[in-house]
């Protein structure tokens, strides 16, 4: 009995091993390929070979249309944040939020000891300079008639020059307050004016409120009739762009605005591998708001590049790769860096140099 049990166990084990071996052979026959590391070999006689479509990778012209997210901002020089370089208290406001103003128009008045001191010094030095000039004119006649010595004349000239220097310094100091020196009066509050024409887009003025020199500007004036739209374009796509080129800016599904390329950046963002492209757009209807995200659509153009079908790209554990043909039935996984194009194409950034035969379609069968 014991002997029969041993024989039966050996028979079951042998049958199991045979069945496993047969199943393994069937698996090999069904897949039609054998993998060894990054190399895949097609089994001789396998119908899989007929399912693989090869393509030679060469540089070729590709019709490209660049679409990218962009952000809206004011045109340089068309926005002014109007604050104070000194401390002061708001005593009067002349404008409202949303009001259009012109360059030089008064926005608000501030009472400031710094400003009043500057005005006082300016007025005193202006008077002193005028007196020195009048004195110099009188002494000049005396010097010419011999009634004033050369030494005394030199002293008069020096005093006049010192008075003029002090007056000039006071005048320049007053200019820091952005006022017309000829119109200032002692004890008068500072009248702050707009340096540009535009619309008041921010007004945080509080009558009686104190404004410090370190504080945020209480008033912002911006001319948004023209804005800049900045798009971050991939480095390889910039080569087909030129300044003055027409660009369509999509504010939303219903509004498309035509702009022109104003500037193409020279400094590459190392993290995103993009360059800033500034588009200038007319914005009379105020559809584009600073801070808004839009879509920039650049004119279609042709570029020469290495490109492969998206069906040739596979995702592995360490990144993307393609199958490159080494021999008639042997293929090797080659890591590549690619970027998406239109019409199911991928631009090859690195990994291929051109001339390689890759599996353009059917490579999915080698991954099963």
What CATH number has the domain spanning 115-181?
A: 1.10.287.470
Task: Output the pLDDT for position 145.
Answer: 86
Reply yes or no on whether the pLDDT at 253 is more than 80. Answer: no
pTM beyond 0.75, yes or no: no
CA distance linking residue 85 with residue 195, whole number of Å: 15
pLDDT interval class at 5 (50, 70, 90)? very low
Summary mean pLDDT of the chain:
86
Specify the CATH number of the domain 67-77+224-299.
Answer: 2.40.30.170
Q: Report domain extents, the chain.
A: 31-63+305-367, 67-77+224-299, 83-112+189-221, 115-181
Question: Three-state DSSP class for 45?
Answer: coil
Q: What integer pLDDT is reported at residue 25 of this predicted model? A: 40
pLDDT of residue 143: 86
Residue 266 DSSP class: S
**Residues in contact with 281: Cβ distance below 8 Å, sequence separation at least 6, in sequence order:** 226, 227, 228, 229, 249, 257, 258, 259, 288
Average pLDDT of the residues in 211-238: 91
Q: In this predicted model, what pLDDT tens digit does every residue of 51-67 receive, in sequence order?
A: 899 999 988 887 777 88
As a whole number, mean pLDDT of residues 276-302 equals 91
Instruction: Look up the CATH number of domain 31-63+305-367.
Output: 2.40.420.20
Q: In sequence order, what DSSP letters do the residues of 18-33 get, joined into one string?
A: HHHHHHHHHHHHHH-E
pLDDT of 280 higher than 90: yes
pLDDT of residue 368: 61
Lowest mean pLDDT, pick from 21-35, 147-161, 306-320: 21-35
* Dist CA 88 CA 214 (whole Å): 12
- Please say if the pLDDT value at position 8 is more than 80: no
Which pLDDT does position 135 carry in this prediction? 92
In the prediction, which pLDDT does 62 show?
79
CA distance 289 to 283: 9
Token pair, residue 146, equals 């011999």
pLDDT at 30: 55
What pLDDT, on a 0 to 100 scale, did the predictor assign at position 134?
Answer: 92
pLDDT in tens, 81-132: 998 878 899 999 999 999 999 999 999 999 988 888 889 999 999 999 999 9
Average pLDDT over residues 7-26: 40
Q: Answer yes or no: is pLDDT of 2 > 60.
A: no
Of the candidates 320, 331, 316, the one whose C-alpha atom is nearest the C-alpha of residue 53 is 331
Phi, psi torsion values for 30, nearest 5 degrees: -70, -45
Beta bridge partners of 321: 314, 335
Buried residues in 292-303 as b, exposed as e (16+ CB within 10 A): eebbbbbeebeb
- How many other CB atoms are found less than 10 A from the CB of residue 50? 8
Question: What per-residue confidence (pLDDT) applies to 3?
Answer: 44
| Rounded distance between C-alpha atoms, residue 42 and residue 331, angstroms | 8
Partner residues linked to 258 by β-bridges: 248
Question: Any idea what DSSP says for residue 75?
Answer: P
Phi, psi of 209 (to 5 degrees): -75, 145
Class for the domain spanning 83-112+189-221 = mainly beta
pLDDT (mean) for 301-318: 86
Cα dist. 134→83, 123, 137, 138, 246 in Å? 40, 17, 5, 7, 65
- With b for 16 or more beta-carbon neighbours within 10 A and e for fewer, the 147-171 pattern comes to ebeeeebeebeeebeebeebbeebb
């Amino acid at each position: 009995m014991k002997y029969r049990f041993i024989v039966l166990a050996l028979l079951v084990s042998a049958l199991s091993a045979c069945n496993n071996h047969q199943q393994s052979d069937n698996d090999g026959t069904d897949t039609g390929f054998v993998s060894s590391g990054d190399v895949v070999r097609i089994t001789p006689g396998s119908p899989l070979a007929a399912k693989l479509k090869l393509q030679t990778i060469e540089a070729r012209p590709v019709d490209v249309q660049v679409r990218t997210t962009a952000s809206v901002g004011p045109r340089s020089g068309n926005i002014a944040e109007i604050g104070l370089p000194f401390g002061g208290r708001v005593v009067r406001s002349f404008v409202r939020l949303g009001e259009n103003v012109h360059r030089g128009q008064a926005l608000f008045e501030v009472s400031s000891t710094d400003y009043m001191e500057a005005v006082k010094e300016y007025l005193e030095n202006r008077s002193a300079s005028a007196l020195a000039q009048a004195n110099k004119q009188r002494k000049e006649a005396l010097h010419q008639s011999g009634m004033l010595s050369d030494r005394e004349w030199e002293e008069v000239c020096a005093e006049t020059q010192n008075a003029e220097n002090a007056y000039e310094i006071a005048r320049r100091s007053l200019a820091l307050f952005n006022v017309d020196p000829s119109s200032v009066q002692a004890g008068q509050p500072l009248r702050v004016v707009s340096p540009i024409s535009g619309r008041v887009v921010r007004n945080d003025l509080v009558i009686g409120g104190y404004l410090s020199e370190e504080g945020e500007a209480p008033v912002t004036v911006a001319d948004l009739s023209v804005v800049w739209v900045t798009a971050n374009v991939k480095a390889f796509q910039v080569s087909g762009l030129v300044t003055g080129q027409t660009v369509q800016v999509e504010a939303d599904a219903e509004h498309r605005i035509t702009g022109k390329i104003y500037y193409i950046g020279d400094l590459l963002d190392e993290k995103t591998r993009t360059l800033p492209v500034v588009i200038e757009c007319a914005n009379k209807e105020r559809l584009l708001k600073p801070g808004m995200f839009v879509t920039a659509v650049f004119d279609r153009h042709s570029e020469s590049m290495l490109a492969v079908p998206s069906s040739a790209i596979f995702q592995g554990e360490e990144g993307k790769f393609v199958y490159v043909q080494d021999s008639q039935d042997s293929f090797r996984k080659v890591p590549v860096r690619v970027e998406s194009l239109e019409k199911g194409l991928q631009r090859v950034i690195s990994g291929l140099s051109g001339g390689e035969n890759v599996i353009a379609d059917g490579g999915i069968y080698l991954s099963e």
